[in-house]
Structure 1
Amino acid sequence: MRMRALITGVGVLLVALAADVFAAADIRGVRLWRAPDNTRLVFDLSGPVQHSVFILTAPNRIVIDVNGAQLATKLEQLSIANTPITSVRSAQRTPTDLRIVIDLSAPVTPKSFSLAPNQQYGDRLVVDLFDQGADSSPNLPSTTTASAPEVPVSPTQAAPKLTPLPSGKREIVIAIDAGHGGEDPGALGPKGAREKDVVLAIAKELQRQINADKGFRAELVRTGDYFIPLRKRTEIARKKGADLFVSIHADAAPRASAFGASVFALSDRGATSETARWLADSENRSDLIGGAGNVSLDDKDRMLAGVLLDLSMTASLSSSLNVGQKVLSNLGRVTPLHKRRVEQAGFMVLKSPDIPSILVETGFISNPNEALKLAAGGHQQSLARSIHSGIRQFFQQNPPPGTYIAWLRDEGKIAPGPREHVVSSGESLALIAQRYQVSLPALRSANGLKSDAIKIGQNLHIPATALAAQP
């Protein structure tokens, strides 16, 4: 009797385990998003599934087989306008095996991956359909940063330049990155305001203002409501030839009373780890450094490449702190500040060794009063104007060679103005004097220094004195 009861108990347990293993997950919803070079489908699931994806031709279509799943939503409701998808259909091959067929008007390259649940979403299956000729490398988001899209926003075109620049003079290019996007809404306000929407509106306004300023051109990294992986954002900025990368965000905190804008530059630790990553990555070694891309690492030995990268990263970080302080000072004229000096952190989007980069937290969307301001068009214009002013001030004092702004200064058509330098790790007063071609005594005198001792984060005034003989 005891043996029979034991066998019966084991049998019941096995049946229960088998039922749990083979229980189908529900596909509860499907979302579709169109980006400039790909289309993304996101399937919301009640649990994890196994899947496979393959291509069929004549006619072109993508087949997705989902094992252990049942369809609990309607695919016909998807908005497929402006995508290569002509229809989406499904068939339940067995009670637990689902086949989804995507009919196409043009061939695409599919990539797929699963996302585990996080604080906002459950299990998801993501299928990316890359247009022919698009970069389909699997630069995928982490499971903690969801990346599926919601509803696309129509891209805006940069305002055209009405007056041509002098021959051979280029514009200063500002890459503006609106944080988050798509399924990643960012921080949420008390009344449902989403960070991704607020920062995109500010980014577009900043682009409009910059493009109205002769000698400058602004390029949006994200033009609509879709997600771009973090490293891909800086890659886009580099391909656009950016002289500066500005990432726009809105902060959040557990305390609703937290308030104020902030500006971040890369931390020293983040700079060190990124330099090491570039040296270790053979693909990165073939990239160009030096802003517009005038130095290649590919033909350099490891030691020389390391020196070049370190110099480039140090210069970029110094410029980041400098432009960041100017932006922060201007922000303080239109909104309260959370911190009165540029903060430093290891944010991924700040890690370009060749492009000065800042991250602007425009305020706390978790604060009810600031959330209302951040959603208001007038305040968005003021924030954009203050960021624009800081950027203009920086580049009028430090124009890249070959640009229209540098030509204006060389021709005496704009006053050089006082230059400023924010001290970063590893710099000495002598190195700073050499960089700006001024003498050590002049640099000490301009800053009231009694010795050559300087501190990280210290703001130095750079005099216009020509380099004298070093003492």
Structure 2
Amino acid sequence: MDEPVLQLEKGDEAGSRLRRALPMPGWQAPLSLMLGIAAGLLLLAAFPAGGRGEALVTMAMPESRSMAMPRISAGRAGNAAPLVVIDAGHGGFDPGATGPSGLAEKDVVLPIALALRERLLELGAVRVALTREGDRFLPLEERVALAESLEPDLFVSIHADSAPVEEARGANVYVLSPRASDAEAMALARDFNAADGAADTGDAALGDVEAVLAELARRETTLGSARIADRLESRIRAAMPVHGRFRRGANLVVLRSARMPSILFEAGYISNAEDAARIGSEAGREAIVDAMAGAITAGLLAVDR
């Protein structure tokens, strides 16, 4: 057997700290399996039960690495209208969170994204593009790169949250903040950014002047993000439950762009049976889409719809 293997040490957390080791001839002991994502790769690890010993790891490269450009739909808006890029979270081999009935986050957020595109086009005020229109995986940084290449006026990432306690429910919106607004936002950023091994380089690769300019640009885009989030809050509160403080700040990979205002919307807790039923239903999606479309057009065009 000449496949690469990794060495696990007792205390390692679900393979988050694995070290390369020499190939091994095989196992006789019972095996444990671990499936995860790192650096945009699908990893399947098999290792001796108990967590100590060498692990055989298989890595798969997603087909989506081709960076196919999203399709821009203009409808009645025309080619000069503001552009909104909608990002349905997860996809492909990455299901995201899973609800008590087995409902996967990736299968909930894509219909919301598709319906939001149609609603925005019906309003005729903006152009729309989606990072994914089908069930495919995109690494976090590739989602941002795809959006930035289109030079949009707004980037909207749509997700559904989960919690270890079923009582947690309600929607939230996140904008970029170097410091998390609360413990939940901090935990979300940690888990979200680590989900596919996204790099946390910030402006480290830039020179001093470039880093300062990038930070100034990011402050400007953050103001635009906050404007959309504020418009969204009243509409969401009128339509569905909200989880504590609606608008939160976190240092999420998909919000770090200095080139476009960005928000991440959590439609609800898929781990909660009521929320899962709401966001998985046509009526629930319609309520979300109406609120988001109204907030987007109001925030970008300074009009209420």
Aligned match of 2:294 in 382, 389, 392? 389
Q: Could you state the TM-score of these two structures normalised by the residue count of structure 2? A: 0.71
Deviation readout 1:364-398 (Å, 9 max, x if unpaired): 1111111111110121111011011111111122x
Aligned match of 1:124 in 54, 58, 68? 58
What residue is the counterpart of 2:139 in the other structure? 229
Structure 2 SS opposite 1:324: helix
Tell me which structure has the larger Cα radius of gyration: 1
Sequence identity, in percent?
31
Question: With CA pairs under 8 Å and 6+ residues apart, which has the higher RCO, 1 or 2?
Answer: 2
Inter-CA distance 370–305: structure 2 relative to 1 (3 Å threshold): same
The answer on whether the counterparts of 1:325 and 1:341 sit within 8 Å (CA) in structure 2 is no
What residue is the counterpart of 2:128 in the other structure? 218
Inter-CA distance 339–368: structure 2 relative to 1 (3 Å threshold): same
Match runs of 1:308-387 below 5 Å? 308-387=213-292
The answer on whether the counterparts of 1:182 and 1:227 sit within 8 Å (CA) in structure 2 is yes
Structure 1 SS opposite 2:102: coil
Q: What is the aligned residue count? A: 246
Does residue 176 in structure 1 map to residue 100 in structure 2? no
Structure 2 SS opposite 1:182: coil
Inter-CA distance 333–135: structure 2 relative to 1 (3 Å threshold): closer
What residue is the counterpart of 2:100 in the other structure? 190
Inter-CA distance 123–380: structure 2 relative to 1 (3 Å threshold): farther
Structure 2 SS opposite 1:307: helix
Structure 2 SS opposite 1:241: coil
Match runs of 1:148-187 below 5 Å? 161=75, 163=76, 165=78, 170-187=80-97
The answer on whether the counterparts of 2:168 and 2:269 sit within 8 Å (CA) in structure 1 is yes
Following superposition, the deviation at residue 277 of structure 1 comes to 4.3
Q: CA RMSD in A?
A: 3.3
Following superposition, the deviation at residue 305 of structure 1 comes to 2.3
For residue 228 of structure 1, what is the amino acid of its counterpart?
A: L
Query: Which structure 1 segments of 5+ residues have no match?
Result: 1-19, 26-39, 49-115, 137-155, 271-275, 286-301, 398-415, 418-471
Deviation readout 1:27-53 (Å, 9 max, x if unpaired): xxxxxxxxxxxxx997856459xxxxx
For residue 60 of structure 2, what is the amino acid of its counterpart?
A: V
Query: Which structure 2 segments of 5+ residues have no match?
Result: 1-22, 29-39, 49-53, 181-199
Match runs of 1:5-404 below 5 Å? 21-23=24-26, 46=46, 123-128=57-62, 134=66, 161=75, 163=76, 165=78, 170-269=80-179, 277=201, 279-281=203-205, 302-397=207-302
The answer on whether the counterparts of 2:77 and 2:121 sit within 8 Å (CA) in structure 1 is no
Inter-CA distance 303–327: structure 2 relative to 1 (3 Å threshold): same
What residue is the counterpart of 2:11 in the other structure? none
CA distance in 2, matches of 1:331, 1:387: 8
The answer on whether the counterparts of 1:158 and 1:208 sit within 8 Å (CA) in structure 2 is no
For residue 268 of structure 2, what is the amino acid of its counterpart?
A: G
